[in-house]
Amino acid sequence: MTSPTSLSRRRGRSALLRDVAGRMVWLLAALLPASSSAGAAGGEVEVLHFWTSGSEAGAVAELKASLHRKGHVWKNFTVANGGGGLAMVMLASRVNSGNPPTAAQIKGAAIQEWAQRGGLSSIDEVANADQWNTLLPRSVSDTMKYRGRYVAAPLNVHRVNWLWIDAAALKKINARPPTSWDEFFAVAEAMKQAGIIPVAHSSQSWLDMGTFESVAIGVGGVEFYQRAFVQLDPAALNSALMVRTLATYRRIKHYSSSQSSGQDWVASTAMLTHGKAGMLLMGDWAKAEMQAAGKRPGSDILCVAMPGTAHAFTFDIDALAMFQVNDKNRQAQRDLAHAVMDKDFQLAFNLAKGSIPVRQDVSLEKFDDCARRASADFKTSARRGTLLPSLAHGMAQPAHTVARMWDVINQYWRNDRITPEQAAAQLAAAARQP
Ligand code: BGC
């Protein structure tokens, strides 16, 4: 199978052609036969997901093992393009042909969209028996329900607005972790002067948006984020603050790796892990790759909130939405829902995944400092009203809106001739389209 890295190396000049070509290759990859584990006596669970990096696959293995223990057959339906854009295309094609998987990794607003189309199945029986309402924060449980009934099971909470810094690189320039974008650029400049590539960059539109939305908080604040990305207020999207956000975001480019050739998130995380870049702007799925490479998050690699966002927490919750299955596989689906919210599973999965458990009663004793910080900040942000659904990860808007906004930001990053004013107008237009 073509890897994201080798795929991106072959990317051409035109952004459009590059995206189309990329999507087609992943489409073919996804059509390859799914791997399965045979021999169990129970039902079958086929799960569509995009967890294909080493650390992600390790986390999924925990779920697979749990279903095996119940005697079910696990079938992977993987679509490898991080961020999940193509996974949704593949899912639509399977559902439209009347052959949905048992469950699919679907985010926030898209869960509601799938439920509205009538494709999802209620798992209330399991959720009620296992008391999900008391185990989950209300802000999470609401998004897992459609018309008051659970249709999806949440696995974790990822924090998107993290900045990862190689402690050795920071020491070399004798600096502290930056807390504002001005400080960030001062650190980046000092790293550059010291011969260190300041920022490991990935050329994936969902990641560009993840950084961009965090810059918006640092530049414009929480209320601005809510108006622009949650309410899609055109006056906030096409505003002087958005223009400043775009201008600040573009400055990061001057300090980033891979100006011309693309690379995926695993490759840019590896740059940081292997001392080839000083900083990485990315959610904590990256931490799992760092750990898998033997680094200690919190000491070898420092975790701080993206500049100017320490008071906020942009969340990305992975969930498995349940599709309608035949009677033969109904029990297997129930067991899957039960397994996802099982306390031991939440511990094992999240330790492997870099995220924190979505169940609020799991001890964090075995987790690293960054996870403990994430958990504390999640709670504080929930109290202060600064818990923000990540636009980049489909938590704030439906998938088609998110995809259009991803594209605007991605084009803006690639093409220096697009002015911040033009990009702000394009963002507002992208949000307006039905
Ligand atoms: C998902 C994570 C995943 C990451 C990279 C995010 O959107 O929520 O589970 O690890 O993308 O693929």
DSSP per position, 302-343: EEEEPTT-TT-EEEE--EEEEBP--HHHHHHHHHHHHHHT-H
CA–CA separation, 188 vs 178, rounded Å? 10
| CATH of 4-158+317-367 given 3.30.70.980, 3.40.50.2300, 3.40.50.1000, 3.40.190.10 | 3.40.190.10
Supply the pLDDT for residue 203: 83
Domain ranges across the chain: 4-158+317-367, 159-315+378-432
Domains 4-158+317-367 and 159-315+378-432 are alike in CATH topology:
yes
Please, which residues bridge with residue 105 across strands? 320
What is the model's pLDDT at position 33?
A: 35
Residues sharing a CB contact under 8 Å with residue 166, sequence separation 6 or more, in sequence order? 272, 275, 277, 278, 279, 300, 301, 302
pTM of the predicted protein model: 0.89
**Cα separation, 184 vs 411, whole angstroms:** 24
User: How many C-beta atoms surround the C-beta of residue 222 within 10 A?
Assistant: 18
Contact 412, 248 (CB under 8 A): no
- Amino acid 309 reads T
- Ligand 1 center from residue 353 Cα (angstroms): 9
Distances (CA, A) of 198 to 216, 256, 309: 21, 6, 20
Determine whether the shortest distance from the Cβ of 323 to ligand 1 is under 6 A: no
- The per-residue pLDDT for 83 is 64
DSSP secondary-structure letter at 394?
A: T
Whether residue 318 has its Cβ less than 6 Å from ligand 1: yes
Q: Strands, E, within 80-205: which ranges?
A: 103-105, 145-146, 149-150, 152-154, 156-159, 162-166
Q: What is the pLDDT of residue 14?
A: 37
Dihedral of alpha carbons 212, 2, 353, 110, sign: positive
CA distance linking residue 1 with residue 63, whole number of Å? 24
CATH code for the part of the protein at 159-315+378-432: 3.40.190.10
Measured CA to CA, the distance from residue 242 to residue 169 in angstroms comes to 32
Tell me if 159 CB under 6 Å of ligand 1.
Answer: no
Long-range Cβ contacts of 171-176 (<8 Å, 24+ apart):
172/196
Place of tokens 């458990």: 357
**Residue/partner pairs of 32-37 with CB below 8 Å, 24 or more apart:** 32/1, 34/75, 34/76, 34/77, 34/78, 35/75, 35/76, 36/73, 36/74, 36/75, 36/76, 37/64, 37/68, 37/73, 37/74, 37/75
Taking the centre of ligand 1 as the mean of its atom positions, its distance from the CA of residue 83, in whole angstroms, is: 5
CB of residue 284 inside a 6 A radius of ligand 1: no
Q: How far is the CA of 356 from the centre of ligand 1 (A)?
A: 13
Degrees to nearest 5, angle at CA 319 with 134 and 365: 60
Residue 288 CA: nearest ligand 1 atom is 10
The 10 Å Cβ neighbour count of residue 6 is: 10
Residue 85, token pair as written in the block: 């854009």
* Any ligand 1 atom below 6 A from CB of 227: no
Average pLDDT across each block of 10 residues of the chain; the chain has 434 residues. List them in order. Answer: 34 35 34 38 91 93 94 92 75 92 93 92 98 94 96 98 98 98 98 98 91 98 98 98 98 85 88 97 98 96 98 97 95 97 97 96 97 97 95 93 95 96 98 87
The predicted pLDDT at position 200 comes to: 96
* Terminal Cα distance for the chain, rounded: 36
Question: Taking CA 105 as the corner, what is the angle to CA 153 and CA 92, rounded to the nearest 5 degrees?
Answer: 125
How far is ligand 1, taken at its centre, from the CA of residue 392, in Å? Answer: 11
H-helix or E-strand spanning residue 129: helix 124-129
For ligand 1, the distance from its centroid to the CA atom of residue 249, given in whole angstroms, is 22
Judge if the beta carbon of residue 84 lies within 6 A of ligand 1. yes
CA atoms within 13 A on the CB side of 242: 25
Nearest CA to ligand 1 atom 6: 83
Q: With a 6 A CB cut-off, is 315 part of the ligand 1 pocket?
A: no
| Ligand 1 midpoint to CA 285 (Å) | 6
Residue 43 amino acid letter: G
For ligand 1, the distance from its centroid to the CA atom of residue 34, given in whole angstroms, is 20
Ligand 1: does its nearest atom lie under 6 Å from the Cβ of 289? no
**Ligand 1 center–CA 149 separation, angstroms:** 25
Shortest CA distance to 14 belongs to which of 411, 417, 430, 418? 411
Q: What are phi and psi of 51, to 5 degrees?
A: -90, 90
Taking only the tens place, the pLDDT of each residue in 249-268 is 999 999 999 754 678 999 99
**In sequence order, which residues have a C-beta less than 8 Å from that of residue 114 and are 6 or more positions away?**
95, 106, 120, 151, 321
Half-sphere exposure of 297 (CA within 13 A, CB side): 28
Ligand 1 contact via 49 beta carbon (within 6 Å): no
Q: Locate the ligand 1 atom nearest the alpha carbon of residue 50 and give its number.
A: 12
CA distance 29 to 41: 29
- Tell me the CA–centroid distance for residue 413 and ligand 1, in Å: 21
Q: Please write the tens of the pLDDT for every residue from 90-100.
A: 898 999 999 99
Q: Verify whether ligand 1 is closer than 6 Å to residue 316 (CB atom).
A: yes
Residue 206 tokens read as 């969902």
For the chain, the average pLDDT equals: 89
